[in-house]
Amino acid sequence: MATLELSGVTAGYGATPVLRDVDLTVEESEIVGVVGKNGVGKTTLMRTVMGLLDPSNGTVSYHGEDLTGASADERARAGIGYIPQGRDVFPELTVEQNLRMGEHVNAGASRTRYEEIYELFPILEDRATQAGGTLSGGQQQMLAIARALVADPDLLLLDEPSEGVQPSIVDRISEDMRTINDELGTTILFVEQNLGVIRGMADRCYAMERGEIVDEIGGESLTDEDAVADYLAV
């Protein structure tokens, strides 16, 4: 049974839908990417999966259970973690306080993951007492990822992790996500425009144009740079 399955999902903010008839599946332990240019509806997709936006049509199922009407809180408790675009690190709180916020998001979690998180991101332990806002873009992304991991989610939703991260650190983020997937068994759905991150991280990806899934790229095709770049070029 798939970890996540969207079937015929149509969603938007007003009368005109942004997402149109989206079908998408993420199998257990997979890393699936959704690629597409600015404004195609990537964030809208993530918000719909998280339950921050209600679809006007279609269903969102998680481990075979229909979650379409469930609140974001309920989904978090069911094990879905969300790292929004722009990260939403609390700049005035310390790194440690930011991390602890992750516990409240998923109050039902049977365990926390501090040990693994500090092992993966030692910098967060070194900087524990420093204000979140003083970290670099890349470090803030690590903090946001770590915060979502604290409550031990089994599906992580990641919205443009490379945005605002200096190029030399970008590869590190895709490597870290691969490690998280490997070692913690976390299933990952992410959206991206950065070709390197997509190819470095995804097992498979969907291409989105104007709110519709127009292609699926996997295996061999993912190694073909042009196959992916076509959906990103302006």
Q: Which stretch binds ligand ATP (CB under 6 A): 24-32, 34-42, 117-125, 169-177?
A: 34-42
38 binds, among Mg ion, ligand ATP, none (CB under 5 to 8 A by kind): ligand ATP
DSSP state at residue 232: T
Q: Which stretch binds ligand ATP (CB under 6 A): 42-50, 98-106, 174-182, 213-221?
A: 42-50
Whole-number CA gyration radius for the chain? 17
Q: Which residue is nearest to Mg ion (CB)?
A: 43
Please choose, from the candidates 129, 113, 49, the residue with its C-alpha nearest in 3D space to the C-alpha of residue 83: 49
Q: Which of 9, 36, 40, 43 binds Mg ion (CB under 5 A)?
A: 43
Q: What is the DSSP string of 4-35?
A: EEEEEEEEESSSSEEEEEEEEEE-TT-EEEEE
Q: Which of 43, 106, 162, 187 binds ligand ATP (CB under 6 A)?
A: 43
Shortest Cβ 19–Mg ion spacing (Å): 12
Shortest Cβ 58–ligand ATP spacing (Å): 16
Shortest Cβ 8–Mg ion spacing (Å): 22
Q: Which is nearer to ligand ATP, 78 or 213 (CB)?
A: 213
> What does residue 153 show for φ and ψ, rounded to 5 degrees?
-70, 155
Number of H helices, E strands in the chain: 10, 10
Q: Which of 4, 18, 22, 148 binds ligand ATP (CB under 6 A)?
A: 18
For the sheet with 17-26, list strands across it.
Answer: 17-26, 4-12, 57-62, 65-66
Q: Which stretch binds ligand ATP (CB under 6 A): 36-44, 99-107, 143-151, 165-173?
A: 36-44
Q: Which is nearer to ligand ATP, 48 or 187 (CB)?
A: 48
Is beta strand 155-159 parallel, antiparallel or unpaired with respect to 80-83?
Answer: parallel
> What does residue 57 show for φ and ψ, rounded to 5 degrees?
-155, 155
The reply on whether position 108 binds ligand ATP by CB under 6 A is no
* Contact of 79 with 148, CB cutoff 8 Å: no
Residues in contact with ligand ATP by CB under 6 A are 13, 18, 36, 38-44, 85, 193
